[in-house]
Structure 1
Amino acid sequence: MEKLKENVKIDLAPIDLSGHENIEIFGAREHNLKNIDTVIPRNKLVVITGISGSGKSSLAFDTIYAEGQRRYMESFSAYARSFIGDMERPDVDKINGLSPVISIEQKTTSKNPRSTVGTLTEIYDFLRLFYARAGEAYSYNTGKKMIRQSEDQVIDHLIENFEGKKLILLAPVVKGRKGHYRELFVQIRKMGFTKVRIDGVVLDMEPKMQVDRYKTHDIEIVVDRIIAKKEDRYRIAQSVKTAMTHGKGVIMVRDEEGTVHHFSKYLMDPESGLSYDEPAPNSFSFNSPYGACPSCNGLGKVEEISREAVIPDDKLSISRGGIAPLGDYRDIWIFKKIEAILKRYKVSLSTPIKNIPEEVMHTLLYGDDVAVAVSSKKYPGTEWNTKFEGIISFLEKQKDEGTEKTRKWIEDFMSVKTCPECNGARLKKESLHFKIAEKNISELAQMDIDTLWDWFENLEERLTDKQKIIATEVLKEIRKRIGFLLDVGLNYLMLDRPLRTLSGGEAQRIRLATQIGTQLVGVLYIMDEPSIGLHQRDNVKLIKALQDLRDIGNTIIVVEHDKDMMLASDYIIDIGPGAGRHGGNVVAAGEPDSFLSQGSTTADYLKGFKKIEVPKERREGNGEKLVLKGAKGNNLKNVTLKLDLGKMICITGVSGSGKSTLIHETLFPILNQYFFRSRKTPMEYDSFEGIKNIDKVIEVDQSPIGRTPRSNPATYTGVFSDIRSLFTELPEAKIRGYKPGRFSFNVKGGRCETCEGAGMKLIEMDFLPNVHVPCETCKGKRYNRETLEVRYKGKSISDVLDMTVEQAVEFFEHMPKILRKIQTLNDVGLGYISLGQHATTLSGGEAQRVKLATELSKKDTGKTLYILDEPTTGLHFQDIQHLLDVLNRLVDKGNTVLVIEHNMDVVKVADHVIDLGPEGGDKGGMIIAEGTPEKVAKSTKGYTAKFLRDELAIS
């Protein structure tokens, strides 16, 4: 045995668990990939690029990430896998050297209103801990600092401050509650106490004693009557202890003058007697009943029936539909009731609402205690003699108790307002009165990250000695995480900003900052365009953050089109050469220097051999304007926005400078209310001029065109209705008597009933996001066998949905009505997507271009304002050129295109540029330069001018 031990050697040297210097991919065929082999160096920053639809995401997410996720699932026990099923293997021969994979995509932003920047980054969790352990409590009644007192401190206080005086020691048992308390008085008598103090009056205990059950009462047990003397310390101590026990840590002392003094071993205001529970981290959580504001349940907002929505036009009378939920007059009970009430005040149903006295309208909307007899022609001889509930009161009740259909109807009359109880702070008032360095936790959550960083700098100098000891470790974690947010250019965000209000790029960079904070090593990170929504100034910070993540020992794969990111990377893979079936090959790969010499389309743009040309002349516009004065929403500083119509206008500025607030939250809601009677209220502004100079407004944003597989480009653009009509006219369909509904996958008849026309079935995963798998009956074709037998040019309706836009343009070339809509999809660079592609698989940029194509296919009037939010998302240099051609076509017809954009290729070709800044958050919100790109480039303010000078080659 000893010899055996001598021969065993233990090597403690580090082991390379991967065994590979590269990630090797062989035979990748997922989607449009053409059986490609490629190598990705490990522990490097690798960019996968190529034109839209070339296969970048297929390689990065659908092949590498999907295989990494599948292998992770295989590591689960057989028991766990029985719950979640087996994941399908991506279509690839082999992948070597694959590390554990983490995907950071744009689509995974939480829609939960409770998810905020603070909760996702964990900064708010550390703040909760900080306040629970180091926060100082203040009374919300008097503003005085609250104190704790032990039994010994209370005894010393009584002897020192009331020496020789008569005192009554009271133990509070009921505070501000209704009830008769018969059983409580019986219990007090059994404990041997002979007196109680009820609502400030000391009374002798009596058998069957009780109080008025409908009134609010304060009840204290009279524990002892003492004279505060040093020699009676033992008796005083025993009485204080007894009072503390029955008062659950609280004691009241009444002196000779009748003044009551409060003492507590917990937090208490000595002046008013107000006490708080001991603070815990969940006392500061708006997701916990211990911390959330009871009025809004921690949301900071409340929904209420809006009087403005119930009475949209007070010039109308009630009989003419002035009260929107009731509509026009009918011979029904409610109108008879209202008529009877109005008669009391000598007004009628035909009186314009604005002429009805306010007290009468208040009665109609919120109810009346006076019963009114009502009869109806419908039910002769029948009378109702009831109190009137009030229309808004009734709607409020139905909102909580009505059917789903009723609740949906009531939503039309609802508006969201800041919670009046907590003023949007989300927490109950006790939690908001714990302070550190004169700030409560909500005030910190409402600071932007820059301001928050400054507040935490040298915080120790403003803390007490006790707080310093508690804060050391917590502050280290908070500062580290705030630093990561600064590193990825999110200095303008606030911790209480809901995640659902963030753009895809912002949410992705927050998750990136969170990942940097985890300090994992040996991980493969895959990211989808993290530079979206980021000004060129902040690109440097993002690239540095990715490089830092790489330097601690991780591999970073970024699907990206940004020039700076490519040139700063360690390795570039270009997929192409075209989109869809024309792509799917590796056309160039290597380190940046080597890549530039390989002559791909991307390399030509990077070297400047190809570029988006600056127009020789800028449009002068049509001489008319839209003028928005005094915009003050969020961080806007009383901005006046002037838009010259008939131009392509670009709104730019660093992230958080106020672009979205100005355009999406102020300008668009104003126009949308005017043209389409939208209920969304614009943010604060003074006045608006020139609205008659346009005839409609169209906002083309990046929200999905649908959230289920049933939505697709064909249904969204409306071309599918025309295609179904075409199939209905075919001889085979006429013989069988098929109507257009037969070719719809949303109604019974022609669809596959197993998947109900979705083509996919939803598999609910217990531990992971839900997964859609092809239907086993129709194999994803959506229709039943009989429907698929009807063919046009040899193609079934399912075959048409499977066609790419490019193929459909050729297939329907002799059908002008269908061709017009499909051609516009092709024109905006979406030739590679299929007509029936599930909406859930489209990127934000693709969804935006589907919307743009839909608007383009409509007949325009030449007086339309189009608003686009970062339309270059997901676009290669070559795609941007196609997009600009489309936008220029719109402007050339007389329309106005307003683009929010950071991409310098778009900014430099605009007719007019408006630059906001100079910084993000509170330091932004001003127009710092405007005019032609050449004029803005000469500005000395902000950051856009510098990058624009480089792009226009202006010295």
Structure 2
Amino acid sequence: MQDAKDTNLQNEPSVAYTDNLEIYGAREHNLKDIDVEFPRNHLIVVTGVSGSGKSSLAFDTIYAEGQRRYMESFSAYARSFIGDMERPDVDKINGLSPVIAIEQKTTSRNPRSTVGTTTEIYDFFRLLFARAGEAFSYVTGEKMIKQSEDQITDLIIQRYEGKKVLLLAPVVKGRKGHYRELFVQIRKAGYTKVRVDGDVLDLVPKMQVDRYKIHDIEIVVDRLTVKADQRIRVVQSVNTALKEGKGSLMLQLHEPANKEEEKPVHFSRNLVCPTSGISYDEPAPNSFSFNSPYGYCPTCKGLGVIEEFTESSLVPDKSLSISRGGIAPLGEYRDTWMFKQLEKMLKNRKLSLTTPIEKLPEDVLDMILNGSDEILKVYSPKYKRTYETTFEGIVAYMKKNYEEGTEKLQNWAKDFVEINTCPTCNGARLKKESLHFKIDGHNIHQLSEYDINHLGEWLEGLEDRMSEKQNQIAREILKEIRKRVGLLLNIGLGYLTLNRSLRTLSGGEAQRIRLATQIGTQLVGVLYILDEPSIGLHARDNEKLIHSLHELRDLGNTIIVVEHDKDMMLEADHILDIGPGAGIHGGKVVAQGTPQEILQQNSLTVDFLSNRRQIEIPKERRKGNGNELVLKGATGHNLKNVTLKLPLGKMICVTGVSGSGKSSLIHDTLYPILNTHFFRAKRKPLEYKSIEGLEHIDKVIEVDQSPIGRTPRSNPATYVGFFSNIRDLFTQLPEAKIRGYKAGRFSFNVKGGRCETCQGGGMKLVEMDFLPNVYIECETCKGKRYNRETLEVRFKSKSIADVLDMTVDQAVDFFENQPSILRKIKFLKEVGLGYITLGQQATTLSGGEAQRIKLAKELSKRDTGKTLYILDEPTTGLHFEDIRILLQVLQQLVNKGNTVLIIEHNLDVIKVADHVVDLGPDGGEKGGEIIFEGTPEQLIKKKKGFTGKFLKMEMKNNGK
């Protein structure tokens, strides 16, 4: 048997069983033919400087091979729809378990995807409310009741013994129409009387009611004196009325003694309000889904918001006249039919297009926006005749373009759309019936507005506040909800609410939600690969995350984490350090082993782990320029009437635990205010009272981690702006002059010099139907972007395509005698991107790389020294050494007189800031306050909040 086993291993080495995960000869991207062995069922951290090859090993080799083998298990028929996956450049991988990758990408751009739906907590709540919720009337607030036919009969006999009553079957409730056909059907069924809007009428041929009024119509099923000994008649009439009324009936006293007795009494097999008579359908889980027509609000279709064209969005500046562009979508006066109609309408009222809008009567402005039935006689010079027309209104005109226009017109109209809370459901997303089912006095929307911390508290002891019947139904459902809530709390996401849209989450938050979901599945024997799960986490919450990863490992799983966090490394079972540099200078294993073993080895990472190398704390903090930017009364989201003071001319760090309100204050309030002030942007800030000190800055620039472009055409050379200089250089070459080539010949975006097969992209888009589209290398130019003739023009024996393939480091030497090009390229090197190529496709750049390219572009500009730069977590994806380089660049910006405002948890950044603003004291409802403003030295003396405690330990390691 042993011999047979050995033979099988030789024939199929890639599936050999081993206690370790073994990778041999990995050469994907910049990996240098490396061999790596990972222990199974351990927490493994793969680290190294940006661009060293960490993701190439973890995702592009191990995960890609796992995916390929999974696809191989499909039938040939199924694979024909998917296509073959390319084999990673690796000799072999042994001991590979099923692989699940949890990356930083935000899970969904769908506005209907929320934290609650993704974690399934909301789905369990839907089930809970459908099975154990108590219904209340949205009219009276009374508890809804439902009865059987026998119960209804007993109640009628008990209450109305000896009284003459009408038994009515409701068929129309609160609707407009003439109802001719309905009356014909009722007559055919043998009934002779109906009750219309409270009056009993005889059914006559061709009977109808006013079609423009709202009506209530009931069939008079029976008129009888209630007697206990005539129970059979009562039962028959009740059954008939319930059948005609689709489960509901009404009882009206024939001769009421007072006004109270004039009101009909309602009975129903369904849930019914005993006073108003409104009834609800039997609830099902989809009755509480904002993705289902059975549950969603009919106005907003479950989105909670509506898009509309409003007076404020169409007429933002009423001091302007219509001819001067007062109606924003129309712009200034032009000789168009729209302006001629407006001119005539105003002329009829002795007004003109030059009248400031603020001086127009309200009814005139309403006609301009919403239209009028008035007949306008408008002369057309083009056709030399007068036309009679009505004015449809600017709102209708914009709606038509937005809903029915070309893509270009729709995008134009979209700029003037205002997104407002739905007036029907007030943002609750559900229809009113669904919102009146309650458990412990709460409806499902109220629970979804709670943050996870608060929800956890509400769930404690809930069984004691429910009835015995509810407890029997809810026991298992509550167990599932509590488990998932606990997982979110354990990974530091207690500040999120269930109704938080997934597209508003950071990559780190979305990744941790998927991590919680995976822990909840209780899978065993899986290889998980995570990409920096600590992103966006405060040092306090990082401990919870590490505990969760240990929990996932202890179930019997192997976890590979691409990570730069020091605490994560020291808590890992095994560390692999890839380097020593980035790009062509990386791709090698420079250190590996347990945390204790690795500290005895030599590498850049180890130097920082062992504190042999540190990011130095400045000897003194900057005093600033004496001016301040002051934002007062910020109350958006969880902010509690915050006043933010920013001393200008300093490096400022805004910090605080996750969910404390940092992004709400800076990204959602301050930045939109400044962006609107300087660039007339349309994004509305969250609520605030006032802002002072705008005269002390001349512009604001947000340097975020969004891509520099979304197609392979975008690259660092075009984004930073030196590619035009390179093209100009090539046009000056003798060969280009002989051929008459202009700068456009060396552009891959216009015809002439580019490869026409891929239209200068170097890659071709392949549509994959139900899978994400993929780009493949162009078979004509082999990724060079240009045609053969263009590539024949060379500078220092290099073609324009060769130049785009150079790394930044190579380009610095290559263009040493070209100052206009060299100056801009050097900034890319300064921000630590010497390893990327000049023509590297934007789609292959990480968020951290994209952010540093944007910084390089800003550095290359001539600045006035009065700019405010805003950066949100710029250390994402960065190694200790990369952070050191980034901070040097940011210090340069401040040294020029600018202000740099950073939202950051990283202690290395906080400790070098001149001024720290700490929000807290906790996340969610317990956050939203500024608990500290001052220098890092002052912060570590503060006892309130968590930042000072962790910063104190970090600064102690630095000897301060």
Asked if TM exceeds 0.5, the reply is yes
Greater mean alpha carbon deviation, residues 677-686 or residues 474-483: 677-686
Asked whether the equivalents of residues 83 and 766 of structure 1 are also in contact (C-alpha less than 8 Å), the reply is: no
Residue in 2 that maps onto 1:569: 572
Query: Does structure 1 retain, via aligned residues, the 8 Å contact 2:146–2:269?
Result: yes
Q: CA deviation at 1:349?
A: 2.0
Tell me, in whole angstroms, the C-alpha distance in 2 between the residues paired with 1:306 and 1:54: 52
Q: CA deviation at 1:135?
A: 1.2
Question: 1:112: Cα distance to partner?
Answer: 1.3
**Residue deviations 1:193-250 (CA, integer Å, cap 9, x gap):** 2222233322223334344444443332221111111001001001111111111111
Name the residue aligned to 2:930. Answer: 927
Any stretches of 5+ residues in structure 1 without a counterpart?
1-16
Quote the residue 1:794 is aligned against: 797
RMSD, matched Cα: 1.7
How far is 1:921 from its partner? 0.7
Q: Find the counterpart in structure 1 of residue 12 from structure 2.
A: none
Map of 1:497-646 to 2, 5 A cutoff? 497-646=500-649
Q: Distance in 1 between matches of 2:170 and 2:310?
A: 43
Kindly provide the CA deviation profile for residues 556-580 of structure 1, in whole angstroms up to 9, marking residues without a partner as x: 0000011100000000000001111
Match of 1:157? 155
Q: Mean alpha-carbon deviation: is it higher for 892-901 or for 347-356? A: 347-356
Partners of 2:299 and 2:187 in 1: how far apart? Answer: 39
SS of the residue aligned with 1:545? helix
> Tell me, what secondary structure is at the counterpart of 2:535?
coil
- The letter of the residue matching 2:285 is P
> In the alignment, does 2:417 pair up with 1:419?
no
Q: Deviations over 1:468-509 (max 9, x none)?
A: 111011100000000000010001001111111111111111
Q: Deviations over 1:306-359 (max 9, x none)?
A: 322322322222222222222223344333322332234332222222122222
Secondary structure at the counterpart of residue 254 of structure 1: strand
Deviation for aligned residue 1:554: 0.3
Q: Is 2:728 aligned against 1:754? A: no
2:100 aligned to which of 88, 99, 102 = 102
Letter in 1 for 2:102: I
Q: What CA distance in whole angstroms lies between the structure 1 residues aligned with 2:552 and 2:768?
A: 31
User: Structure 1 residues 766 and 18 mapped into 2: Cα distance closer, same or farther (>3 Å)?
Assistant: farther
Question: Is the Cα–Cα contact under 8 Å of residues 708 and 840 in structure 1 kept in the other structure?
Answer: yes
Amino acid at match of 2:669: T
Residue aligning to 1:447: 450
Change (3 A) 1:648 1:751: same
Alignment counterpart, residue 366 of structure 1, candidates 365, 370, 375: 370
Partner of 1:280: 284
1:337 aligns with 2:327: no
Corresponding residue SS for 1:19: coil
- Secondary structure of the residue that 2:151 maps to in structure 1? helix
Which position in structure 1 is the counterpart of 2:6? none
How far 1:412 moved relative to its partner?
A: 2.0
SS at match of 1:413: coil
TM-score, normalising length: structure 2: 0.95
Counterpart of 2:865 in structure 1 is 862
Question: In structure 2, the residue corresponding to 1:346 is in which secondary structure?
Answer: coil
- Residue 255 (structure 1) aligned with residue 259 (structure 2): no
Query: d(CA) in 2 for partners of 1:335 and 1:872?
Result: 53
Residue 180 of structure 2 contacts residue 208 of structure 2 at CA under 8 Å; is this kept in 1? yes
Is the contact made by 1:759 and 1:778 (CA closer than 8 Å) also made in structure 2?
Answer: yes
CA distance in 2, matches of 1:330, 1:529: 55
1:219 to 204, 217, 220: 217
Structure 1 CA distance, aligned partners of 2:274 and 2:312?
A: 46
Deviation at 1:84, TM superposition (A): 0.7
How do residues 75-86 of structure 1 correspond to structure 2 at under 5 angstroms?
A: 75-86=73-84
Residues 320-329 or 459-468, more deviating: 320-329
CA distance in 1, matches of 2:762, 2:298: 45
5 Å-filtered alignment, 1:894-905, equals 894-905=897-908
Deviation of 1:709 (Å): 2.0
What is the letter of the counterpart of residue 299 of structure 1?
L
Question: In the TM superposition, what is the alpha-carbon distance from 1:266 to its structure 2 partner?
Answer: 0.8
**How much does 1:719 deviate?**
2.1
Residue aligned with 2:718, SS: helix
Counterpart of 2:924, as a letter, is G
| TM superposition score normalised by structure 1 | 0.96
Q: Which whole-Å CA distance do the structure 1 matches of 2:22 and 2:442 have between them?
A: 54
Q: Which moved more, 1:89-98 or 1:264-273?
A: 264-273
Deviations 1:692-746, CA, capped at 9 Å, x for gaps = 1111111111112222222222222122222223223333333333333333333
- How far apart, in 2, do the equivalents of 1:174 and 1:209 lie? 15
Distance of 1:769 and 1:488 partners within structure 2: 30
**Further displaced range: 178-187 or 825-834:** 178-187
Q: CA offsets per residue over residues 877-912 of structure 1, 9 Å max, x none? A: 111111111111111111111111111111111111
* Equivalent-residue separation in structure 2 for 1:344 and 1:466 (angstroms): 71
- Write the deviation string for residues 753-793 of structure 1: whole angstroms up to 9, x where unpaired: 33333222333445644333222332222222222222222
C-alpha separation in 2, matches of 1:247 and 1:122: 38
What are the Cα deviations for residues 434-480 of structure 1, in whole angstroms up to 9, with x where unaligned?
11111111111111100000011111111112211110111000000
Cα distance in 1, alignment partners of residues 202 and 699 from structure 2: 80
Q: Write the mapping of 1:469-868 to structure 2, written as runs, cut at 5 A.
A: 469-765=472-768, 768-868=771-871
- The amino acid across from 2:890 in the alignment is L
Deviation at 1:544? Answer: 0.3
Aligned partner of residue 496 in structure 2, secondary structure: coil
CA contact (8 A) 1:802 1:836 kept: yes
The counterpart of 1:37, out of the listed 35, 38, 56, is 35
Between 1:563-572 and 1:830-839, the stretch displaced more is: 830-839
C-alpha contact 2:16 2:94 (8 A) present in aligned 1: no
Q: Deviations over 1:98-118 (max 9, x none)?
A: 001010111243111111111
Give the CA deviation at 1:377.
4.3
Distance 1:328 1:215, change over 3 A: same
Q: CA deviation at 1:119?
A: 1.0
State the identity %. Answer: 71
Aligned to 1:125: 123
Structure 1 residues 210 and 314, CA gap change in structure 2 (3 angstroms): closer
2:105, 2:510 within 8 Å by CA — same for their partners in 1? no
- Matches of 2:95 and 2:708 in 1, distance apart? 38
Query: Which one-letter code corresponds to 1:373 in the other structure?
Result: K
**Does the residue aligned with 1:505 lie in a helix, a strand or coil?**
helix
Shift of 1:187: 2.8
Secondary structure of 2:912's counterpart equals coil
In the alignment, what sits opposite 1:166?
Answer: 164
Q: In the alignment, is the contact (CA less than 8 A) between 2:106 and 2:505 conserved in 1? A: no
Q: CA deviation at 1:379?
A: 4.4
1: distance between equivalents of 2:795 and 2:446? 65
Partner SS state of residue 373, structure 2: strand
> What amino acid sits opposite 1:794 in the alignment?
S
The partner residue of 2:140 within 137, 142, 166 is 142
Q: Deviations over 1:132-179 (max 9, x none)?
A: 111111121222211111111110111011111111111122333344
Alignment match, 2:355? 351
